[in-house]
Amino acid sequence: MRTTFSRRRVPSRARRTAERTPELRPSRPWCGYVVREERPAFATYDAEGSERRALGSIEVAAGARWMATLTVPIPDDGVAFLHLERSGAAPLGYRGGEERADFSAPVAEVEALVALLAGIVAQARRDGVLSAP
């Protein structure tokens, strides 16, 4: 940031008023220094990376759906960030509190997570934890 100084003359009308009012009379016809700071219009740019993204959703009821986002940063493609979120009205009697999840996993293990979810749902149905669809 650069600071510049410039002199500014007192306008003649102000000088006349100052001459009529002794307590306002300047000792010199100069008002003094005006400080102007030259600032850039915007802050400095910070590169925060780039990413590849896949989006998808599935409808679970009229006006309600689950949405998913899988994001892989560039050039570090070894990690996947997953975001799951439900939108729309909750089922009658639903008592859950958070219909959203964010987590990361190694890219090589994303399909294993899908298999894990399918497996746990199948087991829960077999064991009677979840009812049949």
CA 40 to chain centre: 23
Residue 103 has a pLDDT of: 96
Cα–Cα distance, 58 to 94 (Å, whole number): 19
State the average pLDDT for the chain.
Answer: 82
pLDDT at 101 over 60: yes
Residue 111 has a pLDDT of: 95
Evaluate whether residue 115 is within a structural domain: no
62 and 23 in a single domain? The answer is no
Cα–Cα distance, 102 to 81 (Å, whole number): 7
pLDDT in tens, 71-81: 999 988 899 99
> What secondary structure letter does DSSP report for 27?
S
> What secondary structure letter does DSSP report for 72?
E
Strands (E), 10-106: 30-38, 50-61, 64-74, 79-87, 100-106
Work out how many domains the chain is built from and give that number. Answer: 2
Residue 3 has a pLDDT of: 55
- Give 14's Cβ-side CA count (13 Å radius): 10
Considering the chain, what percentage of its residues have pLDDT values greater than 70?
72
Evaluate whether residue 55 is within a structural domain: yes
pLDDT in tens, 10-62: 555 555 555 555 555 555 555 566 666 677 777 888 888 899 999 999 999 99
Evaluate whether residue 118 is within a structural domain: no
CB 121 within 8 A of CB 130: yes
67 and 95 in a single domain? The answer is yes
Domain that holds residue 83: 50-106
57 and 33 in a single domain? The answer is no
pLDDT at 119 over 70: yes
55 and 101 in a single domain? The answer is yes
16 and 54 in a single domain? The answer is no
